[in-house]
Structure 1
Amino acid sequence: MAGISLKKVVKRFGVYEIIHGADLEVADGEFVVFVGPSGCGKSTLLRMIAGLETISDGTVSIGGRIVNDIEPADRGVAMVFQSYALYPHMTVEQNLSFGLRMTGHDKADVARRVKRSADTLRISELLKRKPRQLSGGQRQRVAIGRAIMREPQLFLFDEPLSNLDAELRVQMRVELARLHKELGVTMIYVTHDQTEAMTLADRIVVLNAGNIEQIGAPLDLYDDPANRFVAGFVGSPKMNFMAGRIVETNNGAAIVELVNHRGARLRKPAVDAPAVGSDVVIGVRPEHFFNAGEGDCDITIKADVAEHLGSVSYVYANAGREELIIEREASRQRANGDHLTVALRADRSLLFDKTGARVR
């Protein structure tokens, strides 16, 4: 096992800088997930750790050893890709053992590792099958088993579940969490799926346009995002953003008028509030709307569509140019143009300035 340290890591392709001085410390045995939109640099950062991309500047250390100039095969790293990359003419057992056999490993040691990988991933009964005889989830377990065969210090996963259907993704998330618990090996996992990140990670690294926006435990990022980007990216359904304007500041608080909601006002504690007249944004999670009269101010919206999920419904509504998602108990479902009044609470909302920075 090994911890990982990234210090001011930069990646350039020609004159274009893709990663802008990333700093990150991953503890030995930790499960860290990189999340962010497409093109944010999360897979590039992972590939630099693996050695599949050169590092333009800065250092990457694995287990206390700087690995900038060390070949991928010598870094003690195993990587699992989005594609399974199994040899179609080989059995599962042959796919698992191929890499070690090609490097001249002892047959008894190879057999021991095959048994360990198969037992860990519960694919022992599949060893004589070929990839075409396996389901997508079984193929992914074989790909992970091949990585386990190397007994690496570090596992790297690059969107390994994106080819699976929804039910298999849930199943494989459970398998990966169990695998991490059993092996206790450091794992870094790349995904754009917030649900995967929230359920798997010890810590999440949120990336945007080559920058690390925030690092923290899943619920810390959910409850206390550093800026509007993190607030909007972490969580599903996403956070609602409502246009506001500072109309008064006093005693360490800002009075925010919700400009699309007929003058509704919310008093937010804010030591460094923007000046009166400044445009701001109020952020509210779908589950943080309350029944009318049970908060600090009420707003009325027009409910267009209700998505019913059994115990709860998500009401998709609009107010002027704002589209809102509101979580309600299933018994309170509303839709089809009905008007619905809900309450906001200051302690369940967040305040952002016009640049997206959090106002506290």
Structure 2
Amino acid sequence: MAELALKNVVKRFGTYEIIHNASLDVADGEFVVFVGPSGCGKSTLLRMIAGLETISGGEIHIGGTIVNDVEPADRGIAMVFQSYALYPHMTVEENLAFGLRMTGNPKNDTERRVQRVADILQIKELLNRRPRQLSGGQRQRVAIGRAIVREPQVFLFDEPLSNLDAELRVQMRVEIARLHKELGATMIYVTHDQTEAMTLADKIVVLRGGNIEQIGAPLDLYDNPANQFVAGFVGSPKMNFMSGAVIEAQGQTITVALSNQGNVPITLPVENFEPRIGEKVTLGIRPEHFFKAGQGDADLTIKVDVAEHLGNTSYVYANVSSGEQIIIEREESRNESNRDTLTIAIRASNVFLFDNTGNRIR
């Protein structure tokens, strides 16, 4: 396996720049997940690492070697696609062995590698079947096996589970996590699925509009987002945002009125922030950080829109006067969450604060 590094990587199509000076270090054996909204550049970045897209500037290093001009087949990478890309006329065994046979790998070594992969992925009983005889999950296992059999330095995954149903996605997520642990491989994984990112990654890279917004461990990004975009993107259900305005400031303490909640005030400690009275701010609160009335620093009365009961947990969706929607995670309480209105409390210690440009204040 090998470490990987991107140094000020740029991608342009004509005069339009879609990746802007992306820099990233991936340690040997690390599992890194690229996340971001559609069109943010995560798949393009992955394809540049693979050599399927040329880079317009910067450097890509694999195992300490610059690979900007190295052909994809010579980069020591293997890629798993969303579409499986299996040869329909070949058996599973032939699909697994095809790439090695094309490169003239010795027959005995090819057979050894195929049997090893079949053991790792528990697909030995499928070796004589063709892709049309396999389920979606089995096809994805074979696609992953075709990457493993090459024994690459780096594995690249481009939304490999998006074609599977919910139950299979959970199963395959566990399989990929187990595989990473067993192989100790360097893996780069693109997804739009929050759960995949949070559960699989050693490190998450959040992209927006071709820029890397923040890099960090999953819980670091969840607990300490750099800005409002990251705060709203990392986590499921997403963070709630409520508009407010500064109504008082004394030293490193400010009081903010929630303008869409009847101007309910809450006092917050801040550092390195010199607000103007009346300055617009946004409060961020995770769904699990709402409490029963009287158990926090400010009480809010909201109108319940929909309540989802999921067993031991309920999600209450509420609309506020501005049209903003908030999601409240509660321990199961059917009677309470079925009310038309609900009074909840927030605590200053759980509040994130962002200025009017989306930068985090606290």
* Normalised TM-score (structure 2): 0.98
Partner of 2:150: 150
Q: What is the CA deviation profile of residues 117-165 of structure 1, one whole-angstrom value per residue up to 9, with x for unaligned ones?
A: 1111110110011111100000000000000110000000000000000
Instruction: Work out the CA distance in 1 between the residues paired with 2:167 and 2:118.
Output: 22
8 A contact 1:221–1:230 mirrored in 2: yes
Query: In the alignment, residue 253 of structure 2 is paired with which amino acid?
Result: A
Contact 1:304 / 1:336 at 8 angstroms: preserved in 2? no
Query: Structure 1 residue 324 and structure 2 residue 347: aligned?
Result: no
**Number of the residue aligned with 1:347:** 349
Aligned residue number for residue 262 of structure 2: 262
Distance (whole Å) between structure 2 residues aligned to residue 161 and residue 231 of structure 1: 25
Runs (4+) off by over 3 Å: 332-337
Matching residue of 1:295:
296
One-letter amino acid matched to 2:156:
L
State the Cα distance separating 1:277 from its structure 2 match. Answer: 1.1
2:305 is the counterpart of 1:304:
yes
Show the 5 A alignment for 1:123-138. Answer: 123-138=123-138
Contact 1:252 1:269 in 2 (8 A): yes
Q: Is the 8 A contact 1:313 1:333 kept in 2?
A: no
The answer to whether the aligner puts 1:76 opposite 2:71 as a matched pair is no
Query: 1:110: how far off?
Result: 0.4
Q: Using the TM superposition, give the Cα deviation of residue 261 of structure 1 relative to its aligned residue in structure 2, in angstroms.
A: 1.0
Rounded to whole Å, the distance in 1 between the matches of 2:57 and 2:159 is 26
Match of 1:91 in 2: 91
Question: CA–CA distance in 2 between the matches of 1:331 and 1:306?
Answer: 10
- Please give the alpha-carbon distance, in whole angstroms, between the structure 1 residues aligned to 2:268 and 2:117: 54
Partner of 2:52: 52
CA distance in 1, matches of 2:121, 2:42: 27
Secondary structure of the structure 2 residue equivalent to 1:358 = coil
> Is this contact kept in 2: 1:284–1:348, CA < 8 A?
yes
**TM score, norm. by length of structure 1:** 0.98
User: Could you list the per-position Cα deviations for residues 281-303 of structure 1 after superposition, in whole angstroms to 9, with x for gaps in the alignment?
Assistant: 00001100011000000000011
2-side partners of 1:81 and 1:200: how far apart?
Answer: 17
Match of 2:107 in 1: 107
Q: Distance in 2 between matches of 1:168 and 1:212?
A: 30
Structure 1: which amino acid aligns with 2:261? Answer: H
- Please report how far the alpha carbon of residue 332 of structure 1 lies from its aligned counterpart in structure 2 after TM superposition: 4.9
CA positional deviation for 1:337 = 5.8
1:13-60 CA-to-partner distances (Å, cap 9, x unmatched) read: 001000000010000000000000000000000011111110100000
User: Residues 206-245 of structure 1: matches in 2 within 5 Å?
Assistant: 206-245=206-245
Partner of 1:35: 35
Give the SS at the match of 1:295: coil
* Structure 1: gaps of 5 or more residues: none
The answer (yes or no) to whether the contact 1:306–1:334 under 8 Å persists in 2 is no
> Runs of 5+ in structure 2 lacking a partner?
none
Instruction: Assess if the C-alpha contact under 8 Å between 2:76 and 2:152 holds in 1.
Output: yes
**Percentage identity across aligned positions?**
73
The C-alpha deviation readout for 1:243-266, integer Å capped at 9, x for no partner, is: 000111113111110001112111
2:9·2:57 contact (CA, 8 Å) conserved in 1? yes
Query: Structure 1 pair 228/333, CA: closer, same or farther in 2 (3 Å)?
Result: farther
Task: Give 3-state SS (helix, strand or coil) of 2:58's partner.
Answer: strand
Shift of 1:333: 5.1
Secondary structure (helix, strand or coil) at the match of 1:310 reads coil
2-structure distance, mates of 1:22, 1:57: 10
Alpha-carbon contact 2:232-2:238 (below 8 Å) kept: yes
Count of aligned positions:
360
CA contact (8 A) 2:309 2:334 kept: no
CA distance in 1, matches of 2:312, 2:165: 23
C-alpha separation in 2, matches of 1:19 and 1:12: 7
Which whole-Å CA distance do the structure 1 matches of 2:335 and 2:149 have between them? 51
**What are the Cα deviations for residues 301-359 of structure 1, in whole angstroms up to 9, with x where unaligned?**
01111111111000011120221111111125545661100001111110000100000
Q: CA RMSD in A?
A: 0.9
Q: Is the 8 A contact 2:282 2:353 kept in 1?
A: yes
Residue aligning to 2:253: 253
Secondary structure (helix, strand or coil) at the match of 2:276 reads: coil
Q: Secondary structure at the match of 1:147?
A: helix
How big is the shift at 1:102?
1.4
Aligned partner of 1:85: which letter?
A: A
